[in-house]
């Protein structure tokens, strides 16, 4: 990722401040924003067979443009939530990955998917 | 965000490779992972009133720990999806923010929430 | 509910058959349809404060029309999934309600929300 | 569906009343309940290939039991939302199906999935 995360956060804060949208952005509402944006991303794949999902994602064209758009929306919602709650996204990811290393030991989890 | 995103991606790739999980991680499946993890994050706030959602998120304790955990899961799913599809998350966020600046001009959108 | 569920299912089956959409409707895809439709329903409430959510839902007007529309979409997705998997929705609800009666005894759960 | 929907609604209302949970069940919160329950249903299929999703759903065993359980949770959340907002679920489904018949004419939509 070439973009600087702190610079993105600064841009997002300015965008929200200019529109006086902070009043709508309590963490509860932001998880709802996140859920609705993820729903739109899911919609991009709901009729796409798994074995062509990679090609569907990478073929230049309208689908890829929409997918990038929806990924952007999801990322914005997630960063807004982290910023509002004072959660460092990178730290949260690193901490969860460390937990997952323990929960799914490589020798036992190999080739078997994560449990639901 | 102090953590380096490229370093996180490298760790995630190694985690997946050690478990031979790449076979499960086509983009369709990863959007489902994302949706299920976001569902768990939403669950943390579903009974929390909006006007105490900030305090609920920030009070040291079990709720904050779980929220950070769920944010980590969501972040992992999103990074896995971006990595698999060759989407630069930072670029996608910056591009969508630029579109939103046009779609919601500050003087017209001020104090009025984004349309559903 | 005055509408007959079996009649609804028959109408849905005919709708799908006329469009040859059964090929897209494996249960995995239908859970994705459900997730994306629920995302649209969530979008209707994401900026609405909890204490006006009842009024927002009941006021005649565009919001209520959209909410009914999204509820219809969610209901269609859920019925399609049940029909495809041979799950009787009413039985599934009744069975889960019976489990919840045990899991959340009235005297202990009173006034305390379900755990996430 | 052999179960009577009005009887289910009456049981749900009693269940909620006995626990004094109506205070948590404004429509906003119930859409969050719905989103989190759908997330759990999605989790049941996220690593299941589309071409074995039917068998996965129908094979007697732990997966089917969990899927029925999650369908029950989703159905409960949807009925609670409909009851709270005064929306007749059957009518909403029938109305949306009628709109979809117009939006997706059989001769044009045949074999082509619904747009995202």
Chains that touch A (3 or more CB pairs under 8 A): B, C, D
pLDDT for residue C3? 66
Q: CA-CA distance, A78 to D19, in Å (whole number)?
A: 34
Of the pLDDT bands very low, low, confident and very high (cuts 50, 70, 90), residue D2 is low
Binary contact (B75, A89; C-beta < 8 A): yes
pLDDT score for A1: 57
What pLDDT band is residue C1 in, cutting at 50, 70 and 90?
low
Q: Is B42 in Cβ contact with D35 (below 8 Å)?
A: yes
Instruction: Check CB contact under 8 Å for D32 and B42.
Output: yes
pLDDT computed for residue D3 by the predictor: 66
> How confident is the model at residue C11, as a pLDDT?
97
> In this structure, what token pair is assigned to residue B62?
């079990």
Beta carbons of A88 and B2 less than 8 Å apart: yes
pLDDT value at residue A40: 98
All partners of chain C with 3 or more CB pairs under 8 angstroms: A, B, D
The span from the CA of D88 to the CA of C2, in Å, is: 8
Q: D33, A116, D29, C46: which is closest to B116 by C-alpha? A: C46
pLDDT over 80 at C14, yes or no? yes
At residue A115, the pLDDT reads 75
What 3-state class would DSSP assign to D87? coil
Q: What residue of C is the nearest CA neighbor of A33?
A: C46
CA distance D93 to D88: 9
CB-CB contact of A43 with B54 (8 Å): no
Mean pLDDT for A58-65 is 92
Residue pair C39/A42 in contact by the 8 Å Cβ criterion: yes
pLDDT band at A2 (very low <50, low <70, confident <90, very high): low
- Read off the pLDDT of each residue in A9-36 and give the average, rounded to a whole number: 98
The confidence band for D4, taking pLDDT boundaries of 50, 70 and 90, is confident
Report pLDDT digits (tens) over D6-61: 999 999 999 999 999 999 999 999 999 999 999 999 999 999 999 999 999 999 88
Question: Does the distance separating the beta carbons of A35 and B2 come in below 8 Å?
Answer: no
**Is the pLDDT assigned to residue C75 strictly greater than 80?**
yes
Residue boundaries of the structural domains of chain D: 5-109
C-alpha C96/C-alpha D103 separation (Å) is 36
**Closest Cβ–Cβ partner in A32, A47, A66 for D113:** A47
Residues A4-33 have a mean pLDDT of 96
Q: How far apart are CA C33 and CA D114, in angstroms?
A: 10
Least confident range of A32-36, A90-94, B44-48, D1-5: D1-5
Residues of chain B neighbouring A29 (CB-CB closer than 8 A): 50, 53
Return the CATH number of the domain spanning residue range B27-109: 1.10.287.1080
Q: Does domain A5-109 have CATH number 3.40.50.720?
A: no
Average pLDDT of span C83-103: 97
- Chain C environment of B32 (Cβ under 8 Å): 28, 31-32, 35
Residue B113 is predicted with a pLDDT of 87
* Partner-chain contact C32 A45, CB within 8 Å: yes
CA distance B36 to B78: 12
pLDDT attached to residue B88:
96
Cα(D102)–Cα(D104) distance, integer angstroms = 6
Contact B35 C40 (CB under 8 A): no
Q: What is the pLDDT of residues D54-102, one digit of tens each?
A: 999 999 889 999 999 999 999 999 999 999 999 999 999 999 999 999 9
Q: What's the pLDDT at C34?
A: 98
* pLDDT score for A28: 98
* Cβ-contact C30, D48 below 8 angstroms: no
State the Cα–Cα distance between residues C75 and D79, nearest whole angstrom.
10
Q: For residues C72 and C64, what is the distance between their CA atoms, to the nearest angstrom?
A: 12
Residue among A35, A87, A110 minimizing CB distance to B71: A87
pLDDT truncated to tens, each residue of chain B (116 aa)? 556 889 999 999 999 999 999 999 999 999 999 999 999 999 999 999 999 999 999 998 899 999 999 999 999 999 999 999 999 999 999 999 999 999 999 999 999 988 77
């Amino acid at each position: 990722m070439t973009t600087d995360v702190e610079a993105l956060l600064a841009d997002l804060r300015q965008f929200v401040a200019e529109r006086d949208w902070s009043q709508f952005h309590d963490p509860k509402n932001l998880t709802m924003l996140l859920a609705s944006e993820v729903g739109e991303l899911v919609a991009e794949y709901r009729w796409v067979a798994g074995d062509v999902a990679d090609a569907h994602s990478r073929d230049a064209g309208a689908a890829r443009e929409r997918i990038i758009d929806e990924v952007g929306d999801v990322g914005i919602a997630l960063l807004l939530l982290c910023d509002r709650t004072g959660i460092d996204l990178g730290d949260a990811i690193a901490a969860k990955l460390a937990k997952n290393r323990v929960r799914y030991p490589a020798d036992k989890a190999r080739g078997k998917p994560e449990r639901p």
